[in-house]
Amino acid sequence: MIGGKEVEVMGIISPDDFNSGRCFQLGGGSLAISSSSQAAKKCFSNPFKSVCKPSSKENRPNGFQDRKPRHDPHAQNSLVMSRPDNNHQWMFNKNCSPIVDVVIDPYLVYHLRPHQKEGILFLYECVMGMRVNGRCGAILADEMGLGKTLQCISLIWTLQCQGPYGGKPVIKKTLIVTPGSLVNNWRKEFQKWLGSERIKIFPVDQDHKVEEFIKSPFYSVLIISYEMLLRSLDQIKNVKFDLLICDEGHRLKNSAIKTTTALISLSCEKRIILTGTPVQNDLQEFFALIDFVNPGILGSLSSYRKIYEEPIILSRQPSASEEEKELGEKRAAELTCLTGLFILRRTQEVINKYLPPKIENVVFCRPGALQIELYRKLLNSQAVRFCLQGLLGNSPHLICIGALKKLCNHPCLLFNSIKGKECSSTWDENEERSLYEGLVNVFPADYNPLMFTEEESGKLQVLLKLLAVIRELCPTEKVVLVSNYTQTLNILQEVCRRHGYAFTRLDGQTPVSQRQQIVDGFNSKYSSDFIFLLSSKAGGVGLNLIGGSHLILYDIDWNPATDIQAMSRVWRDGQKHPVHIYRLLTTGTIEEKIYQRQISKQDLSGAVVDVTKTSEHIQFSVEELKNLFTLHESSHCVTHDLLDCECTGDKDHTGDSLEKVPISRNCQLGPHHQKSSSLKPLSMSQLKQWKHFSGDHLNLTDPFLERIRENVSFFFQNITNQSTVI
């Protein structure tokens, strides 16, 4: 008897089954995985060893001769899809049709890189139900620049013309849902790879309505934005779509939002999500994506949380016991194994060899005198003191953090906030009022935010010197200047005007119809624009800015995926110049803390695909707030101090919760010629392998860093494809 209930013990669960979570899965065992999926998974390390040649006669059904495939499977470099096994034929080939090889169009294969061929094979096996019985969903989670669009176009064109059973096409109509800014991009990609003769696509925009697609029998692919999908849902429901592709699919991370509900209502089993950031905040979002492409495969959300999410998150807490850590690792491994059958994730490492060198710099800028004085004043404010004492709720600490981040960008942003609150008639937040109390007195009496000076901000001084040296040494090259905030972009735009730099700008206010035109104009070799001002959040999705070879990330975001995506804009296919990337951080301030938090929290990403636990909406403990609300004025770089490099000895900062990874290394304050890894997400061990330069170092070989050295306290530098540097 347990708790008033009579319980009968039927058997003993092995420790391995319990730790992995297999005993909690449907049916008490593993998922219903097709007999070929394990073989498919095994050969995926070398996918073309067995699938680029047609199957032998022994695998063909008795009594049937093969019909002629659309393309010759024996031709050199032909890409042949996997043949269905007996189990798949029993389920999907009721008419006993002859088995025909499905061969990718040779015209497309000629342009495909190895990882793209692997991706098409993966997508084909998933949507055909060859990898997991009865499941036809897939998540292609490649990072930016790996050609997710081309892989999908190849799959659509193949399935629309061919099929394994009698050569009959698998799909007739395809629905592609994408952010509004990418509808035209998809249209251009179809046009580029297939022209207008092979396949008829219908992009929905202001001049082309869904009704036209429904009435015309010629169109087979509908491309529509998420917003337009909601408006046209009733009409779209009347169309039988055989394949659904959701671009930037991390939008579907919440199963309760209207967009997800609308897409689920469409009777389409074959579903593909494309996303470079599978999960941005937590493991529940990961569940939502999995449950969308393959409904019910992980059971209910409540059971998923108990079996996987809670043990995994608990195991990554600093206070976790060895038993909790082991359980979390086993559950994470099992979750990866289950979902890995229909999730494919490749990083930019796979195309590095095709790209020019990338020189990545993290630049720690010395704050200006006004910034330091204002920073001290903010940290001594009543609002911050109350936050540290745990007397306030969660909202005020975000206000304090926001004020510090504005100050790091430029003091005039803080001044505008102060004056704006003083003039507001709806101003009744005592905590926020106390935060800004007395700050006006720190500014000069005649301070005018519209007439701000560059000397007031350490980062702005570094930026101006960088722009000047780039223009001087590389007069034909261009710069992409990125910020998370529109107000900061306004300041940067004014700086461009003052110094006569020609610029173009793309942010949340830019009409969708004009975005591609602006990008194409900047990328053109005939463009006179020197700087591309970009809002990372509003305008960043899917943009290819290879016209610029220098990218400067002016501020930092809590979510590392936002920054990583922004920094990937220029280092992509088609780039001809070596790429220089600069992340500007204000030394000793909250920006360093956010950078440290990015690194330490990204350790979870290696556990399940690319999951991160980083968000501005997280709950901060009092200790974490003490760490955030600290100004380190004496350190050249708190982040470097925490690495415990041998060059500086052990330095311990009480309250700094950055994971320390002791690695034996001969680190000196000078250049290191060791070729380092650029794998993402960046871990502490990898950061320790980067080159380290003190701002006081006198022999900087990088001419760009040499010019800004006076305003910089410390550098981290990493060079990818260093061997190709001329």
Q: What is the residue-wise DSSP string for 675-688?
A: -----SS--HHHHH
Q: Are residues 470 and 393 in the same domain?
A: no
Is pLDDT at 38 greater than 50 in this prediction? no
Residue 307 is given by DSSP the state I
Q: Which of 346, 377, 406 is the last residue of a domain?
A: 346
Q: Which residue has the higher pLDDT, 194 or 668?
A: 194
102 close to 133: Cβ distance less than 8 angstroms: no
**Which pLDDT score, from 0 to 100, does residue 601 have?**
53
- pLDDT surpassing 90 at residue 531: yes
In the prediction, which pLDDT does 197 show? 85
Rounded mean pLDDT, 513-535: 90
Per-residue pLDDT reduced to its tens digit, 49-59: 333 344 444 44
Higher-scoring residue by pLDDT: 422, 584:
584
Highest mean pLDDT range out of 421-430, 435-444, 662-671, 688-697?
A: 688-697
Q: What token pair was written down for 577?
A: 């110049």
Angstrom distance (rounded) from CA 684 to CA 671: 19
What pLDDT score does 250 carry? 80
In this structure, the answer to whether residues 203 and 287 fall within a common structural domain is yes
Q: Which stretch of 280-284, 297-301, 389-393, 630-634 has the lowest confidence by average pLDDT?
A: 389-393
- DSSP letter (8 states) at residue 28: G
Indicate the pLDDT class of residue 424, thresholds 50, 70 and 90. Answer: very low
Confidence of residue 604 (pLDDT cuts 50, 70, 90): very low
Q: Nearest-CA neighbor of 602 among 512, 682, 667?
A: 682
Distance in angstroms between the alpha carbons of the first and the last residue of the chain: 77
Give residue 689's pLDDT: 77
Residue range 228-238: mean pLDDT, rounded: 92
CA angle 56, 60, 63 (to 5 degrees): 135
Q: What percent of the chain has pLDDT over 90?
A: 37
Separation between Cα atoms, residue 163 and residue 102, nearest integer Å: 6
DSSP class per residue in 428-489: --HHHHHHHTTTGGGS-TT--GGG--GGG-HHHHHHHHHHHHHHHH-TT--EEEEES-HHHH
Q: Are residues 420 and 521 in the same domain?
A: no
Residue 611 has a pLDDT of 39
Cβ count near 352 (within 10 Å): 16
Tell me if 78 sits within 8 A of 103, measured CB to CB: yes
- pLDDT score of 442: 80
Q: Half-sphere exposure (CA, 13 Å, Cβ side) for 373?
A: 13
Residue 17 lies in a domain: no
6 inside domain: no
Would you say how long the chain is, in residues?
726
At 121 the pLDDT is 97
Q: By C-alpha distance, which of 25, 620, 605 is closest to 285?
A: 605
Query: Would you say residue 120 has pLDDT above 80?
Result: yes
pLDDT at 220 over 90: yes
**Could you tell me if 493 and 417 lie in one domain?**
no
> With 60 as the cut, is the pLDDT of residue 542 above it?
no
DSSP-assigned letters across all residues of 478-543:
-EEEEES-HHHHHHHHHHHHHTT--EEEE-TTS-HHHHHHHHHHHHSTT----EEEEETTTS-TT-
Say yes or no: 137 and 244 in one domain: yes
Query: CA 129 to CA 551: how far, in whole Å?
Result: 43
Taking a C-beta distance cutoff of 8 angstroms, is the pair 534, 545 a contact? yes
580 membership: H or E segment, kind and range = strand 579-586
Which pLDDT belongs to residue 130? 93
Averaged over 99-116, what is the pLDDT?
94
* Residue 649, pLDDT score: 35
Final residue of a domain: which of 408, 434, 451?
451
Query: Is residue 382 located within the same domain as residue 341?
Result: no
Q: How does residue 23 score in pLDDT terms, banded at 50, 70 and 90?
A: confident
Helix (H/G/I), strand (E/B), else coil: 2: strand
The larger pLDDT score, comparing residue 201 to residue 424, is at 201
Q: Which tokens in the block code for residue 45?
A: 């390390």
pLDDT digits (tens, 9 = 90+) for 136-150: 999 999 987 788 999
Euclidean distance between CA atoms 482 and 540, whole angstroms: 9
Query: What is residue 698's predicted lDDT score, i.e. its pLDDT?
Result: 65
Q: What is the mean pLDDT of residues 172-197?
A: 91
Looking at residue 65, its pLDDT comes to: 45
Q: Is residue 49 part of a domain?
A: yes
Quick one: pLDDT band at residue 318, thresholds 50, 70, 90?
confident
pLDDT at position 523: 92
Q: Which of 27-31, 85-89, 388-392, 666-670 bottoms out in mean pLDDT, i.e. has the lowest?
A: 666-670
Rounded Cα distance, 567 and 586, in Å: 18
Burial class (CB in 10 A: 0-12, 13-18, 19+), 307: buried
* Eight-state DSSP code of residue 80: B
pLDDT for position 362? 93
pLDDT tens readout for residues 640-698: 887 767 664 333 333 333 333 322 233 333 333 333 333 344 565 667 778 888 877 66
Number of domains in the chain: 3
**Predicted pLDDT at 639:** 83
Q: What integer pLDDT is reported at residue 148 of this predicted model? A: 93
Residues 442 and 568 in one domain: no
Q: What is residue 702's predicted lDDT score, i.e. its pLDDT?
A: 87
Would you give the DSSP letter of residue 82? P
Q: What's residue 270's pLDDT?
A: 95
The Cα–Cα gap between 527 and 546 comes to 13
Share of the chain above pLDDT 70, in %: 78
What pLDDT digit, counting tens, does each position of 367-401 carry?
999 899 988 888 887 777 777 766 655 556 778 88
Q: CATH number of the domain that 119 lies in?
A: 3.40.50.10810
pLDDT of residue 63: 39
Each residue's pLDDT tens digit, 703-722 = 899 889 889 999 989 888 76
Average model confidence (pLDDT) across the chain? 80
- Beta strands 358-365 and 712-720 are antiparallel
What does the pLDDT read at residue 366? 93
| Residue 316 belongs to a domain | yes
For residue 562, the model assigns a pLDDT of 79
Return the pLDDT at 460.
Answer: 94
Per-residue pLDDT, averaged over 400-423, amounts to 79
Domain edge (last residue) among 391, 417, 451: 451
- Closest by Cα among 627, 64, 712 to 361: 712
Identify whether residues 336 and 479 lie together within a single domain. Answer: no
Q: Which domain holds residue 310?
A: 36-346
The pLDDT of residue 207 is 82
Q: Looking at residue 204, what is its pLDDT? A: 92
- Which pLDDT score is estimated for 491? 93
Q: 441 exposed, middle or buried (CB, 10 Å; 0-12, 13-18, 19+)?
A: exposed
CATH of the domain at 447: 1.20.120
Q: CA angle at residue 122 from 118 to 123, to 5 degrees?
A: 120
Dihedral angle at the C-alpha atoms of 183, 187, 189, 190, nearest 10 degrees?
A: 140
The answer to whether position 21 is within a domain reads: no
Residue 32 pLDDT more than 60?
Answer: no
Residue 695 has a pLDDT of 76
Least confident segment among 106-110, 400-404, 624-628, 672-676: 672-676
CB atoms near residue 144 (< 10 Å): 21
What is the average per-residue pLDDT within 503-526?
87
Predicted local confidence at residue 49, as pLDDT: 39
pLDDT score for 414: 83
The answer to whether residue 573 sits within a structural domain is yes
- pLDDT attached to residue 153: 97
Does residue 478 form part of some domain?
A: yes
Q: For residues 506 and 358, state if they share a domain.
A: yes
Q: Is the pTM of this model over 0.75?
A: no
Among 315, 334, 335, smallest CA distance to 323 is for: 315
Name which residue leads in pLDDT, 378 or 461.
Answer: 461
Same domain flag for 49 and 67 = yes
User: Which is more confidently placed, 216 or 670?
Assistant: 216
Q: Are residues 288 and 317 in the same domain?
A: yes
Helices (H) and strands (E) in the chain, counts: 30, 15
pLDDT at 427 over 60: no
CATH of the domain at 672: 3.40.50.300
**In angstroms, rounded to a whole number, what is the distance separating the alpha carbons of residues 396 and 59?**
67
- For helices 411-423 and 486-498, what crossing angle results, to 10°? 120
Same domain, 426 and 302: no
Write out pLDDT tens, residues 297-309. 888 889 999 999 8
Give the tens place of pLDDT for each residue, 577-598: 999 999 999 999 999 888 887 7
Beta bridge partners of 718: 360
